[in-house]
Structure 1
Amino acid sequence: MEKISLLVTLIATIAGFMDIPEKADAKAKLAEAFEGEFTDDEFDQAVALFEEQQKQAAIVAEIGKLNPADKAHYTNGKNPKPHAGVLGERLGFSISAKERDAAFAVFLKENPPAEAPPVKAETGMVTGEDVLRNMRKQGKRI
């Protein structure tokens, strides 16, 4: 698996610095650089993993563009999630619920929801001052 990870990194680097329209071109360049020290199967695994990572990165980025308050973008329920169909329409490729869930988990890890200010026990209310104090405590500049 270490060799596959290295190949993924190399494919990503080549894709980032060179215009390689075909997988065969990337494979040829890597084979030339490494004098054939990987098998066709290892290369195919690395390409599939690279494409999976690229797809997930695109889904994560698109989730960030959705409006969580828009019911057309997010599911209803206790733990709303982005609609896989909406993401797919916006990105131009189909997205399974499993892919959406994995990307949403990454998105939430990278963008944790803000903590809600504590409700005052004596009044049961949250004031604007409470919100500002809580935001400052989280390190937000106000």
Structure 2
Amino acid sequence: MTSESRSAPDWEGFLRALIETLDEHMSSEERAVLLRAVGQRIAARSHIPPEPTLAGLEARMNERLAGPRWGSVSIALDADGPALVLTHAAPPRLSAGQGGSDWIAPVLEGLHTGWIGTQPGAAPEIGARLVSADEHRMVIRYGA
């Protein structure tokens, strides 16, 4: 087996084609709904057991994010209401100038909704929504 065949596959071409195809066949809201569902499916496949503290939950989430190199997240209580603020640093992205955050934001919304929504005391009707984003971080609010 050559070193080339043992290396991780490069998924960028596939992801770019997939996102472009979704853009051609779906409205932006339809695409966002689909990508949130993908994020929730990923969360279900990498389940986080009940964590009694936010620090513990944050640590488990970061363990899950480290494997595929999807950045890291910090969790804080929202001072403006009953919600959590998740700051997701170094989110996955395609090459510079290609697609920005518009494809990964709903995936991360679904992922964080899935992970937090299975924790003790979480209400299933609450979800995570993007508040702001730049090339280095996304701020996501989980709450009513």
Q: TM-score, normalised by structure 2?
A: 0.28
Highest CA radius of gyration, 1 or 2? 1
Q: TM-score, normalised by structure 1?
A: 0.28
Whose helix fraction is larger, Structure 1's or Structure 2's? 1
